[in-house]
């Protein structure tokens, strides 16, 4: 009977540190394998590079659109752009036409 009591006392005294160790291992595993863990860092880096490349393309497209809008300003219309738009809307532009810059 005394042997069982000693064993029970030993188990109860080891229960607290065992739970603490399990919690520590759980959190350490989550730090490494979790959704915001160390292993997810590489995926976040790839997503960041992809987003930066998309941002660069979007900024380039925005700059092109800004230049086109500036060329359509009613106070000073670009004659080449106006000619292109009018010919396209009237249907007199052909696919085999070549634009030769004079500059």
pLDDT for the residue numbered 42: 86
Q: CA 16 to CA 47: how far, in whole Å?
A: 42
Those residues whose C-beta lies under 8 Å from the C-beta of residue 37, and which sit 6 or more positions away, are 30, 31
Could you list the pLDDT tens digit for every one of the 103 residues in the chain? 788 888 888 888 888 899 999 999 999 998 888 888 888 888 899 999 999 999 999 999 999 999 888 888 888 888 888 888 888 888 787 778 776 767 6
Cβ–Cβ contacts within 10 Å for residue 91, how many? 7
Q: Looking at the whole model, is its pTM more than 0.85?
A: no
The Cα–Cα gap between 99 and 84 comes to 10
Is residue 74 within 8 A of residue 68, CB to CB? The reply is no
């Amino acid at each position: 009977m005394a042997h069982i009591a000693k064993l029970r006392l030993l188990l109860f005294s080891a229960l607290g540190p065992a739970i603490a160790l399990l919690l520590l291992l759980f959190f350490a595993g989550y730090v490494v394998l979790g959704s915001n863990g160390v292993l997810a860092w590489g995926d976040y880096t790839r997503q960041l590079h992809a987003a930066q490349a998309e941002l660069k393309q979007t900024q380039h497209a925005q700059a092109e659109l800004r230049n086109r809008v500036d060329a359509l300003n009613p106070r000073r219309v670009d004659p080449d752009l106006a000619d292109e738009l009018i010919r396209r809307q009237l249907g007199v532009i052909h696919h085999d036409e070549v634009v030769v810059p004079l500059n």
